[in-house]
Each structure stands twice: as C-alpha cells, then as structure tokens.
C-alpha cells in the first residue's frame, strides 16, 4: 500500500477505459488535491461520469492506476477497499435516490451498510444530515416522488454525507435546478467543504458553479485532461473548446450576472 500523499487525495495515472471498440478514456492522468473543490467539465459524452465511476471502481479500466487516500484500489484486499469506500460519499448523476425508500431510509442506507447502529441513532443522524443540507426534519418521512428537484439533490447530498466522508463525488449536482436553487446548492457545498474540510470532485456543466464554488477546474476532451488549473488559467487558454466554453455567449452571461452587469 502506498504512503498517503498530503497533496493528492485522488491520483489517476495512465487510465484507459473502453466499451467495445470505443475508447472513452485514453491514458488519462489527474490529481485531486486534499481540501479542494475540483470542477470537472467537458463536452457531453466525453466521459466525465465514466471517469467518476472508474475512480470508485464501478467501471473496469483496461490499464492504468488509481489511488484514493494513497491506496491502490486494484492492489487492495476486500477489507482495505471497504475501509476506503467508507471514507467517500457519492451523489450520482442518474437515480440520485432510491424511489421506493423514504428520505430517512435513503440517508440511512449507506450507514447501515457500514455500521451497526440502533434505530434511534440512525434517526438522529438522519435529522442532523437533513439539517446540514438545509432541510426540515419533517422531510424524513417523505418519498422522493413527493420532493422538488432541488430537494432531491439536497437529500442526495445528505446521503452522500451520511458517513461523514472526507471526499465526495458530485456528478452534476445542480443540473435541473433554477439558477437561484443552483446558486444556493453551490454555496452549501462551499460551506460544507470549509466547515467539514471536505475534498469535492464535482462534475458540472454549470459555469456559475465553476466561478463561485470551484478552486480548480479540470477539462476532459478526447479521453484526456486537456487543461487543469484555476478559472483565470482556463480563461487564458487558447484551446478552441476552452475558448468557446469560457468566452462564449453563456460564459459572458455568467460573468455579466456575477458583476451585476446585465
């Protein structure tokens, strides 16, 4: 097992992923640093969700190494893997919640998987996590179909936080939310990252999120990381996709609204 590196909480090296003849990731390298919110962007279908799922071990890779918390997950035995999985939380792009379970059951799901706790304690954790994401305790007994889209994202975040993780993966957490709801969600993620010392790997198409919530941005294109750095560095890039993404019509609208210019 490798020594845990202070700077990189996720270390992806030379990772290739294929589905049949289609190569989605091509010898990709990426570091996610401890304590940062990394915004992960790229065209739709580029492989952002695939990389996320590869890091957490749900998609097999053809080659390459991935270390999380300094542990090579391929070399780890079942017990070591479980210990790593216990330290991260995930908000999936699709199916953020189990539709047949209540909010409380959804939040308690990962806790039950790893810990043996009394129902009273599980209920206390549920209320605490709901509070953390700005939801009232009454929401606990509702089913996902009885929640708004924004509430579903918040409950999914509460579930991702259920085990007090050090690292969270958020795949498009603000998609489908109105700009104010998305802004509130970004602020919530920022606050949680600061107060809990979280590291956040956030896939997003939301330029506002990139501006306000992310410390660093990594851009995926043609199976590789084509750029990684601060927003200022992204804006200074001459790469055609980055130029149209960060300087296009939508980008100007975001920058305009951030500065109060309409």
Ligand X SMILES: Nc1ncnc2c1ncn2[C@@H]1O[C@H](COP(=O)(O)OP(=O)(O)OP(=O)(O)O)[C@@H](O)[C@H]1O
Q: Would you tell me which residues interact with ligand X (CB under 6 A)?
A: 19, 24, 42, 44-50, 93
Q: How far is CA 206 from the centre of its chain?
A: 13
Q: How far is the CB of 26 from Mg ion (least distance, A)?
A: 18
Q: How far is the CB of 260 from ligand X (least distance, A)?
A: 30
User: In terms of CB distance, is 192 or 228 closer to ligand X?
Assistant: 228
Which of Mg ion, ligand X, none does residue 47 bind (CB under 5 to 8 Å by kind)? Answer: ligand X
Residues within the interface to Mg ion (CB under 5 A): 48-49, 93
Which of Mg ion, ligand X, none does residue 21 bind (CB under 5 to 8 Å by kind)? Answer: none
User: In terms of CB distance, is 103 or 213 closer to ligand X?
Assistant: 213
Which of ligand X, Mg ion, none does residue 46 bind (CB under 5 to 8 Å by kind)? Answer: ligand X
User: Do 12 and 55 form a contact (C-beta atoms < 8 A)?
Assistant: yes
Which of ligand X, Mg ion, none does residue 144 bind (CB under 5 to 8 Å by kind)? Answer: none
Q: How far is the CB of 44 from ligand X (least distance, A)?
A: 3
Q: How far is the CB of 44 from Mg ion (least distance, A)?
A: 7
Strands 216-221 and 224-229: antiparallel
User: In terms of CB distance, is 49 or 108 closer to Mg ion?
Assistant: 49
Which of ligand X, Mg ion, none does residue 45 bind (CB under 5 to 8 Å by kind)? Answer: ligand X
Which of Mg ion, ligand X, none does residue 55 bind (CB under 5 to 8 Å by kind)? Answer: none
Q: How far is the CB of 239 from ligand X (least distance, A)?
A: 17
User: Do 152 and 144 form a contact (C-beta atoms < 8 A)?
Assistant: yes
Q: How far is the CB of 48 from Mg ion (least distance, A)?
A: 5
User: In terms of CB distance, is 87 or 205 closer to ligand X?
Assistant: 205
* Three-state SS sequence of the chain: CCCCCCCEEEEEEEEEEEECCEEEEEEEEEEEECCCEEEEECCCCCCHHHHHHHHCCCCCCCEEEEEECCEECCCCCHHHHHHHHCCEEEECCCCCCCCCCCHHHHHHHHHHHHCCCCHHHHHHHHHHHHHHCCCCHHHHHCCHHHCCHHHHHHHHHHHHCCCCCCEEEEECCCCCCCHHHHHHHHHHHHHHHHHHCCEEEEECCCHHHHHHCCCEEEEEECCEEEEEECHHHHHHCCCHHHHHHHHCHHHHHHHHHHCCCC
């Amino acid at each position: 097992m490798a020594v845990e590196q202070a700077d990189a909480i996720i270390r992806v090296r030379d990772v290739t992923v294929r589905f049949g003849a289609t190569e989605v990731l091509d010898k990709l390298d990426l570091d996610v640093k401890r304590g940062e919110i990394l915004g992960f962007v790229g065209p739709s279908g580029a492989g952002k969700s695939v990389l996320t799922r590869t890091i957490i071990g749900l998609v097999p890779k053809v080659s390459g190494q991935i270390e999380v918390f300094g542990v090579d997950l391929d070399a780890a035995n079942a017990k070591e893997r479980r210990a790593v999985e216990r330290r991260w939380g995930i908000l999936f792009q699709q199916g953020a919640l189990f539709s047949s379970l209540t909010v409380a059951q959804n939040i308690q799901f990962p806790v039950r998987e790893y810990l043996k706790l009394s129902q009273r304690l599980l209920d206390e954790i549920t209320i605490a996590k709901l509070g953390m994401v700005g939801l009232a305790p009454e929401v606990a007994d509702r089913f996902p179909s009885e929640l708004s889209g924004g509430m579903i994202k918040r409950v999914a975040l509460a579930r991702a936080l259920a085990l007090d993780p050090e690292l969270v993966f958020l795949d498009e957490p603000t998609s489908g939310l109105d700009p104010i709801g998305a802004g509130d969600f970004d602020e919530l993620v920022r606050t949680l990252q600061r107060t809990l010392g979280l590291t956040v790997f956030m896939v997003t198409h939301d330029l506002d999120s990139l501006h306000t919530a992310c410390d660093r941005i990594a851009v995926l294109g043609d199976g590789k990381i084509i750029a990684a750095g601060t927003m200022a560095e992204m804006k200074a890039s001459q790469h055609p996709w980055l130029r149209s993404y960060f300087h296009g019509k939508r980008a100007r609208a975001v920058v305009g609204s951030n500065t109060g210019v309409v």
